[in-house]
Chains A and B, each alone.
Chain A
């Protein structure tokens, strides 16, 4: 009996140790903290830190992007990592609050919570620490003087990739694969559909949800069904489930390099995900990507706080006009000059305020009626 308890304890503590290893800061991959700097940290620069969600600081998505924003901020004002700016990694949902508290305790003046999952934790911690400022990315938090919410106008970026997709499709059928049917992902869906229909209302948009951000199997089944039914371009906003869309498109391409299938990536430029080599020739199924510039937003809020203009209690929405969202043009072969020109024309219209992009289903209906 004793032996068994001991072993179970050993097992569990082993997992704990490993889990703990994940959270410890292993130094930044660039390793630039060691090199000498020939500048002095600016006096008015503030100390900033961020807490990742379970994706981790190098998730190739918004956590990573946010950290790059902090690094850029640090570089600009000649700050030291660990001293003036830092991050804390969360490996499970229960880590958010302790991480936020720890960074608050280390006298960081501005602490970011990256991802909607941190909403509750950051609201609680912000309520308990009125002297520290907090910023939540990707979700609107309740109003507090020391808490600001950073969101993105994903519908604008999605509108533009919708325009591009409409110009690119040959079958006049495009698809959208969402992660979970929620107001946030609906913004992607609605913007995309509006963009497609603005070019040609007769193009069909097949919308399906994987009901998961992780299940690549589900994503792939949906993509398989869509491509089978004649869809030639799929825009995914489904995180890891979107990998399934890529693997399906790549499999089709592998079997028939002539086939006309495309994927539109999300959050960051997913060009690398789309590469496929058939008989020594390189192809890429990533047509373009809807890029969310979390780094720009993060840096911007830090700078506003430096200037004494912390937007507490507000919700700042970053859109096309402040480069918060953009369209990737890495795949030049697919994303032709012609398409790029058309997209930038629409972009200008949105920036100039001539065009209001819908972000909910109701607004979409109205938008389509006015076309």
Chain B
């Protein structure tokens, strides 16, 4: 009980940014665009989230008091998501309109985001990293739900609203992808764009939307990570979380709920590796095994040992109208 109470909140906290970002990855890849740039989108989200928070907090606190302080991180996250969506449109322009190699542009997005972020931090603040924000996301007990016996303390006490937003969004994305006409179109351009084109779906438009949505979600993920963990922006704020999210996309078999599960699994694995020394069963396992477990499983999933991971058929191939 107490062990669960320790592991789950910490795992969940770590997983939340991964869930957001992985959802973005799912959307983009379902439409047929590989998105190696998730890391860069998170960096952009973290950068914008922190800067907006730093700039906005004094104003909000002055005018709206403690409510303003509570609102500030949410506004920061929203702005970060929008800016990252615009930033991701670069990836869309390159890969959809100009049919550039999707992996190469994705890598470029990663470099570009960090370069732009650090460069602007330097221009704005005259130093290599920002100060810590005054209005980060803080944990709270969710009213009513935290009073439920057993489940309450584990899931709803000292938790973050962003955690639950991530879970809810995973279900929303699942619904959108699998239960709506929009989702059907999105999947069809990722599976067989030529067929989709012949029935009148605008393939390029769908892909643009999907990639920009991945930027939106990646931006949320990055800013949530920065506002809960690092609380400032520097070259190392986002250090590989985007790639872990990418692994979650693959491990979750390009399914929103799969990605949700994978991200939580990664969180649990990491949380166990941190806390494991205190748990009787695990204390004899070197923590490095727990740390590498998610990645080993991802590789196994890719080579088909843990169920078959099948990517969207047209993933990575640009659509050329009229070709067959």
Contact = CB atoms under 8 A, between A and B. Distances in A.
B275 A225 contact: yes
Interface in A176-228: 208, 211-222, 224-225, 228
A285 B197 CA distance: 59
Given A211-B291, A221-B10, A255-B139, A11 B229 contact: no
Contacts of B6: 225, 228
Contacts of A218: 270, 274
A34 to B, nearest CB: 16
A8 B115 CA distance: 16
Q: Main SS of the interface on chain B?
A: helix
Given A7-B94, A22-B122, A58-B127, A12 B108 contact: yes
Nearest to B115: A18
Contacts of B132: 243, 246, 272-273, 275
Nearest to A248: B229
A101 interface: no
Q: Mostly helix, strand, loop or mixed at chain A's interface? A: helix
A247 B228 contact: yes
Size category of the binding interface on chain A = 35 or more
Contacts of A332: none
Interface stretch (A49-57, A290-298, A333-341): A49-57
A56 B122 CA distance: 10
B202 interface: no
B139 A251 contact: yes
Given A22-B119, A216-B230, A216-B237, A221 B14 contact: yes
A56 B225 contact: no
Residue from A19, A212, A213 whose CB has the most chain B CB atoms within 10 Å: A19
A254 interface: yes
B274 A221 contact: yes
Interface in A272-302: 272-273, 275, 277, 279-280
A216 B229 contact: yes
Given A11-B94, A18-B119, 9 more contacts: A7-B100, A8-B100, A8-B104, A11-B108, A12-B108, A221-B10, A251-B138, A275-B132, A279-B66
21 contacts: A4-B99, A7-B98, A11-B94, A15-B108, A55-B128, A59-B234, A208-B274, A215-B240, A216-B229, A216-B230, A217-B14, A218-B270, A221-B270, A221-B275, A225-B275, A225-B278, A240-B237, A240-B239, A246-B132, A251-B138, A255-B140
